[in-house]
Amino acid sequence: MKKILYVSGSKFPLAGLAGAIHSGSLPAGKEPAVSALWSLPFMKLNKNNEGEIISLGEDEQGNKIFALSIKGDRALINRLIDSFISIYQRAPEELYMVDIKFRENYLLRAGQILCRSVILTPLGRTIVLAGVKKIFDSLNQLVHEQKQGKGKLP
């Protein structure tokens, strides 16, 4: 059993979406239902969950799936996680990091900002949904490659 950590350098929880697809919380290959999307714990966009590692359950092989969205230097994040693996004397192959290489689109960012206001939350959610639809195929492809072993895992 491995631990798979999806990491994105974005304030929007793209890593969480990819991890939710991997764990089966969101459907692979098709756009998620609105209710399924908004029921995910990391989609509370009025809070700042950036920098928190989120547990997203297990995949079909029993691998534990996690997500981390944090703005900043990705190399620093990699070194930090490698340091923790070394400190806690874990085997490096126990944890695979999957880099979400693309950034949030302007719809995701704008919707996230609007969701911080109680009055503008419905508009923000509509805009976020349009942004998720725009990027969902790319996330699906990335997750599919990881599950098939074709993705690049460090």
In a domain, 90, yes or no: yes
Please return the burial class of 39, using the count of CB atoms within 10 Å of its CB with bins 0-12, 13-18 and 19+: exposed
In a domain, 108, yes or no: no
What is the mean predicted confidence (pLDDT) over 13-25? 93
In a domain, 9, yes or no: yes
In a domain, 21, yes or no: yes
In a domain, 133, yes or no: no
What is the mean predicted confidence (pLDDT) over 5-23? 90
List Cβ neighbours of 117 (8 Å cut-off, separation of 6 or more).
124
| Cβ atoms of 102 and 15 closer than 8 Å | no
What is the pLDDT, as a whole number, of residue 96?
Answer: 81
In a domain, 154, yes or no: no
Question: Which position has the higher pLDDT, 79 or 37?
Answer: 37
Question: Which position has the higher pLDDT, 41 or 134?
Answer: 134
Q: Which region holds residue 5: left if phi is over 0, alpha if psi is between -120 and 50, else beta?
A: beta
Which of the four pLDDT bands, split at 50, 70 and 90, describes residue 48? low
In a domain, 22, yes or no: yes
What is the pLDDT, as a whole number, of residue 150?
Answer: 60
Question: Which position has the higher pLDDT, 124 or 78?
Answer: 124
Query: Which residue in the block uniquely carries the two structure tokens 């631990």?
Result: 3
What is the mean predicted confidence (pLDDT) over 86-109? 81
pLDDT over 70, % of the chain: 92
Is a pLDDT exceeding 70 seen at residue 56? Answer: yes
Side chain identity at residue 124, one-letter code: G
Structural domain containing residue 75: 3-103+138-147
The string of pLDDT tens digits covering residues 103-130 is 789 999 999 999 988 899 999 999 999 9
